[in-house]
Amino acid sequence: MTISHLIAFTAGLLLLYYGAGWLVRGASTLARSLGLSPMVIGLTVVAFGTSAPELVVSLVSAVKGKSMIALGNVVGSNICNIALVLGLTAVFQPVKTSRIVITRDIPLMLAISAYLLLLSFNSVIGRIEGVTLFGGILAYTWFNYKVAVRVSRAMPGLVGEAAIVPPTNAGLMQKTWMQCLMIVGGTAGVVVGADLLVDAAVSVMSVLGVNEKFVGLTVVAFGTSVPELATSVVAAMKKEMDISLGNLVGSNVFNLLSVVGATAMVRPIAIAGGFVGSGLVVDYLVMMTISALPWVMMRGDLTISRRKGLILIGCYVAYVIFLIFKS
């Protein structure tokens, strides 16, 4: 891997990180200035905006004919979110969650993962299948909205306070033109960053002699998870736990439904070498197993302790080592 490739990869990561931040902040403040409630903003603008890196990277990969990078990005990002991001967060500060995440959100994530596994058995995720997945994210968002409305009526102020919406009291950000500029700049940053990241990943393939799946599951997946990783670790170090298991589970659901769905609608995702022959079935099962670990760990005290966080990190390290030796 040459210096130029490293520079391109680093530049892509930075553009993805800052571009996603600008996009979310600009869109959130614009939506608020237009009269939308924090609850609606949190469930739509922020939720879709934080999945922008995975979405754009997968779309760019599919358009460039690198469908295994696109799919590997989603599977690897989901593994990274639970094993590495949640694990590191818990090491710095134990993570607590609500019972609803254990009884509803994680089982839903596992059910969607199982559905994607079934769709992949014929070694291609077509446009119609992509429509069913993307339709799922619309239904998921609507369901969360209805639940949030019901909760807000029962406990006024709770949802609004819980919604993660960037502050709007910065002077220039109150101006519509600045909000629009941040949206445009953030979108451009994510798109250009994704293009640089995918090109750098393809270069890694040629230099190291590894396949698309390996690059998508490791390099690209880690790169698109950097925003969640940085946010979680910094918040944990400051003991400001504005990231939770529910946020990470929601991000994984968005990845499975919106990222894979939108990518397949743009261009069918062909699994090179076959779903079983390529070994991707093993990666799916690893994703589902790691996704189920928080459910097992938190059933009693609803907490991921430091020891449990180390176990999650160990699972991620073991998986990456397995991929390296396999490649």
Contacts of 165 (CB under 8 A, 6+ apart): 28, 32, 38, 41, 42, 46
> What number of other Cβ atoms are within 10 A of residue 167's Cβ?
9
Residue 131 in this model has a pLDDT that exceeds 90: yes
Give the model confidence (pLDDT) of 175-210 as tens digits: 777 877 887 887 787 778 777 877 787 777 667 677
Q: What is the mean pLDDT of residues 116-128?
A: 95
Residue 286 in this model has a pLDDT that exceeds 60: yes
Percentage of the chain beyond pLDDT 70 is 81
pLDDT given at position 161: 43
For the domain made up of 3-326, give the CATH fold: A middle domain of Talin 1 (1.20.1420)
pTM: 0.82
> Out of 83-97, 201-215, 291-305, which region has the weakest mean confidence (pLDDT)?
201-215
In whole angstroms, give the CA distance from residue 284 to residue 47.
Answer: 24
pLDDT given at position 239: 65
Residue 315 in this model has a pLDDT that exceeds 90: yes
pLDDT given at position 42: 57
Residue 237 in this model has a pLDDT that exceeds 60: yes
More confident residue, 103 or 230: 103
Give the model confidence (pLDDT) of 135-151 as tens digits: 999 998 888 777 767 76
In whole angstroms, give the CA distance from residue 84 to residue 71.
Answer: 19
Query: For residue 125, which phi and psi values (nearest 5 degrees)?
Result: -110, 105
What's the pLDDT band for 2 if we cut at 50, 70, 90?
low
Q: What is the mean pLDDT of residues 165-179?
A: 56
More confident residue, 130 or 159: 130
In contact, 268 and 70? CB cutoff 8 Å: no
pLDDT given at position 9: 77
Alpha helices, DSSP H only, in 155-273? 158-162, 176-208, 212-215, 221-237, 245-254, 260-266
Q: Where are the domains of the chain?
A: 3-326
